[in-house]
Amino acid sequence: MQRKIGLEFGHYRQENPLALNTRSLYFYIILVSVLLSFVTNFGFSSLLEPFLFLKNDGSSVYPSFENTFLVSWEWWRLITPTFLHFSLTHLIFNCLWIYILGSKIEIIDGKGMFLTLFLFAGLSSNLGQYFFTGDYLFGGLSGSVYGLLGYCFILDLEYRGQRYDLPNALYIFMFIWLLLGFTGILSIFGFGNVANIAHLVGMIAGFIFGLITKFNIKF
């Protein structure tokens, strides 16, 4: 089934909402996440270490922000935890949200906007998770997912839900899920240790990015 997307925003396109476009950026983000998750055996392989937020190579130097980024200059670690996942369920759900949200943003706003937003939310959520909790053993697309969600929410408010055509129930579900994470209920029901700060900071990053876009602020 074909539908028109983006007509009111000046770039008419025909897109199949169920098609996975292998030329899209969101497809390659999903692909990298899947490959890296399996290569690192969902966190149980020694190959995990180079992708963690802090360097922890077993040396006598305790993992620290300064040693990782100012001494060793391993700056890729700022973003690589975004692509790590520690269970198959974790990976599937995050990739599904990247597909749902990322495809809409990439089609309507373009590849450049989508990639910038994805990296901004991922970087912000990783930094937030580390500096607010001191933990560096975290990973997942969830921070970026909440960034995409926050961005869509702000602009859907502006355009009364007509820009991304996302149901209100989706926003409600994701906001409730975020709140439940802070109560500890998700861990009790077997969802593991949830990076709640990463989710919250990612969403705030998305709100900020959405407001910047909304008011046409150049940066």
For the stretch 55-72, pLDDT in tens is 987 765 678 999 999 999
Count other Cβ atoms within 10 Å, centred on residue 192.
11
Specify the pLDDT at position 3: 40
Q: Which two tokens stand for residue 46?
A: 């020694």
CATH number attached to the domain at 3-214: 1.20.1540.10
Q: DSSP code of 5?
A: E
Count other Cβ atoms within 10 Å, centred on residue 24.
18
Which band of pLDDT confidence, cut at 50, 70 and 90, is reported for residue 28?
very high
Q: Which residues pair with 13 in a beta bridge?
A: 5
- Is it the case that residue 9 has pLDDT exceeding 90? no
Q: Which of 85, 103, 124, 199 is catalytic?
A: 199
Per-residue CA distances from 196 to 79, 87, 151, 193 (Å): 17, 17, 18, 9
Specify the pLDDT at position 215: 86
Specify the pLDDT at position 99: 97
Q: DSSP code of 62?
A: P
Q: Which of 125, 142, 144, 187 is catalytic?
A: 142
Specify the pLDDT at position 62: 76
Longest dimension (CA), the chain: 59
d(CA 5, CA 47): 42
- Is it the case that residue 202 has pLDDT exceeding 80? yes
Per-residue CA distances from 55 to 27, 48, 49, 139, 196 (Å): 29, 11, 7, 14, 22
Report the DSSP pairing between strands 13-15 and 3-5: antiparallel
Location of structure tokens 């705030």: 204
> Does the annotation mark 24 as catalytic?
no
Specify the pLDDT at position 19: 65
For the stretch 147-179, pLDDT in tens is 999 999 999 999 887 899 999 999 999 999 999
Show me where the domains of the chain are located.
3-214
d(CA 120, CA 143): 10
> Does the annotation mark 199 as catalytic?
yes
